[in-house]
Structure 1
């Protein structure tokens, strides 16, 4: 199963347990792009509509949402069914015909990395009006090295060593790589990167449920995933029942290069 399809199997869990995006980020997107309420917005990979809510809550409702997963698309369509100017189209971005273009703004939340950048950024460029802009954002994993996280890391080394975050890119490396990809396509200018961070608290059960919505965890064998998550839950319960996580989001802004 491809990573971009894994969330469709757990649409309701994704909606319940994934943290929302920071309000400040949406303010920065709109200030940068100079979008007015009537402008057309394209959202690529809307999932369960978490980022869509950030747009609608600011009265931006002229939105076309593209979502590959049928369950995810249905959930989002139901959530916003009272807004007649908001459309949810169940297809892949690669296969979509671009209905409704040109758009003033294109956004994508923790989804655009599933699309080949050489195709994706160029296709977005084609769909935007000359004064258009992008606001693509990702949740960035931040390793923590206190006692509980080090204990949890030992479980990863046993059951999923390729997910041991001490061996993966640092947040800074991940962000720099994404910025280089955005710049390297040559389709956008005035690239800006902004970061938002907050410390979130989870019960052991909620943290396990959160991990279970992660595509890389979903791709583990059922046995390894269950063993891993059970070990993590037991570790958190023994340390007091709660765990803190640095929730970081990186936003990449750019304006269409004419």
Structure 2
């Protein structure tokens, strides 16, 4: 499934949400890294989390599995001479001899890396006292979430793609940080900071369907199922006065220091 994103290279950057500016401020405060420190990004996509740090003056080596996504990232990051994009999986990437990084980070990508490889390789590539930081952008269901997402569940169930588990899921503040335990269990990183961010965005039907076209499950969905689902989304939103929905997002920043 991790290779499906490459087919969405042209729309990914604009369709996916930007991460909160506060997240980057907190990342730098916790890690203490300052330009021109050398950062390594795993799974940069088209540069969603690369651009904000490149603009601050960091040197960045970004590794991206998808060839089309890597090409899009190079196009968007072309103005930054200290940023390089490598088309490779993180697992098979061979860094330059002696390369060491001050911070390795992954935004909505770390879960796709082989668990037998990622922590050992990350630790080996970090300088003494270096940090690993990961975060995701997930669908959040706070108490005031948009009822559209309950209404559309019927369509998902009809095509055999219903929500796994109770609906709705727990609100973001009640969900544990899954990465913190994973960091510690690796034996290679000590967690030094975690923080939750929640925000909301409004979407037209076109914007929301473009977003869904960047999700692995929807990309891989059978065309007939996807067409039916998208018709139902348009039908439900057309019945609203402004034709829009509100989707809440959450991200948990987890930062670990190399042991």
TM-score normalized with structure 2 length = 0.91
Q: How does 1:157-236 map to 2 (within 5 A)?
A: 157-163=157-163, 166=166, 170=170, 171=172, 175-236=176-237
2 CA distance for matches of 1:165 and 1:201?
A: 26
Tell me how far apart the structure 1 counterparts of residues 147 and 247 of structure 2 sit (CA, whole Å): 13
Contact 1:143/1:165 (<8 A) preserved: no
Map of 1:147 onto structure 2: 147
Q: Report the CA distance shift for 1:164/1:133 in structure 2 as closer, same or farther (over 3 A).
A: same
1:81 and 2:78 matched: yes
> What whole-Å deviation, never above 9, does each CA across 1:61-99 have from its counterpart, x for those lacking one?
x10000011110011111112222211000110110122
Distance 2:168 2:112 in 1: 19
Tell me how many residue pairs correspond in the alignment: 254
Alignment of 1:6-155 (within 5 A): 6-60=4-58, 62-99=59-96, 101-143=99-141, 146-155=146-155
Equivalent-residue separation in structure 2 for 1:203 and 1:236 (angstroms)? 8
The answer to which structure has the higher helix fraction is 1
Query: What residue in structure 2 maps to residue 239 of structure 1?
Result: 240
1:156 aligns with 2:161: no
Q: Deviations over 1:183-218 (max 9, x none)?
A: 211111134211111111011111111111111111
Tell me the equivalent position of 2:254: 252
- Consecutive unaligned residues in structure 1, runs of 5 or more: none
- Cα RMSD over matched residues? 1.9
Q: Aligned partners of 1:114, 1:169: CA distance in 2, in Å?
A: 22
Which structure 2 segments of 5+ residues have no match? none
Structure-2 separation of matches of 1:55 and 1:41: 9
Relative to the length of structure 1, the TM-score reads 0.92
The offset of 1:59, in angstroms, is 2.2
Separation in 1 of the partners of 2:120 and 2:109?
A: 16
TM-aligned CA distance change 1:242 to 1:163, over 3 Å: same
1:156–1:164 contact (8 Å) kept in structure 2: no
